[in-house]
Structure 1
Amino acid sequence: MTSKVYESAASAVADITSGARLAVGGFGLCGIPDELIQALLDAGVTDLEVFSNNCGVDDYGLGILLSDRRIRRITASYVGENKEFARQYLAGELEVELTPQGTLAERLRAGGTGIPAFYTPAGVGSVVADGGLPWRYAQDGSVAIASPAKETRVFGAKRYVLEEAINADFALVHAVRGDTDGNLVFNRSAMNFNPLCAMAGRIAIAQVEELVAPGDIDPATVHLPGVFISRIVRTGPQEKRIEKRTVRSAQEAN
């Protein structure tokens, strides 16, 4: 059997080409595949379509790809603390599909389990379902591309909207621990989107802080089985950054 282990982040992403569709794990700056993202930046790929909860910050995570104009379109649930994300969107330089956070999670899960679409109450009665949500602005501030209306249906006297699954060419995820078969363990809230993104990617690439032999991880503690992971690379301990730090002044503290 071909080994899933790669020597470096650069070799693990070497066949990701411009125009690829990427599902990228993490929540805010928690559990993001930072070294895989940096390797993509170094590789020079562009025109990327990204599915991720948010887009990092200006100088870290997906924000470094965004700042270098490598991302063409992003599906996310919020803008977060990335000022460049907001600027590019409002200036008409970036196509953005904003979707409810739970819906984004379920679209990724559906893609990984072979479900083409599903009904949800989230967004019913809003532009999410009715259409007209700005996906891309023109330079004059008008809406160049708006979201289309989605199919709705009533079940048990309640209306639901049809949402389509997400399937990506590649998934990039971060785990605290993994074995050489690709079984992964995530650290606390890093479980939010990493497993779902891995499921949605045709080829899922995991960076792990600790890489161990098969059998060293108790099967009962595995969060994502190795069947979903195509490649794994050990990157060592990850820098733990805070997306937004709020502190009291010395005067307030006293």
Structure 2
Amino acid sequence: MHSNDSSATFRITFAGIQAAPNVAEAIEVLRTNYGIDFITYHLCQTVADVVDTPFVRTTYPDSWVSRYLMRDYVKIDPIFHEGLIRQMPFDWREIEIPEAAYEFCADAGRHGLGNNGFSIPVITKSRRALLSLNSSKGDREWSNIVSERRSEWVELAFLIHEKAVFELHGDHDPVPLLGAREVECLHWSALGKDTKDIAAVLGLSSHTVRSYIKSARFKLGSATTSAATARAAHLRLIHPYSTTGS
């Protein structure tokens, strides 16, 4: 395809996703406009009070979705598990399929799923999502498509993610948007560091650290630093048991 056509497809799809009333219709717009066989959006983690709520939308056939759930394939799905740890988009051919997943892959093929795919991890705030595109096109053709479209797909993945969060929470997103420094200060505070220690670790003044912590407390609706770190850990904005940073 020519670049002009690429830009037109992207613009039309972007507008279509924005106008779609929900994520299910948004991924159908993406699937149709780009000629993809199947698309799945999986929000791996949402925050709703004290319960993590799964949120999955897919264009896969109902027969495959039912079989996937019945056989609990999520435990061995290599693409899903890779998507949980990857930071960057990846072609499915990059993944080494474990022996335990061979039958899963064969079963997927028997249900009409293609051998090729491209997955985009979406990481925002305390959330991790995965948008996966599946295709039955041959290796060379698929490589050319991915090379041409990947930057567009990444941008559209984040747009779909925004729609998913809004579909779940509307204008009342329970996850506050903390700055990187606010998260760092809370992280080290949760590990027992005082203001002076945090300032030394981050190369900041004690006054600046106190300002970041105060701002984070305000955003989290917490009266004390200990309450703020507890809430941040609950929302998975920080991981207090890790010493490698949040």
Q: Please classify the TM superposition score into its range, dividing by the shorter chain length.
A: under 0.3
Q: Which has the larger radius of gyration?
A: 2
**Structure that is richer in helix per residue:** 2
**Structure that is richer in strand per residue:** 1
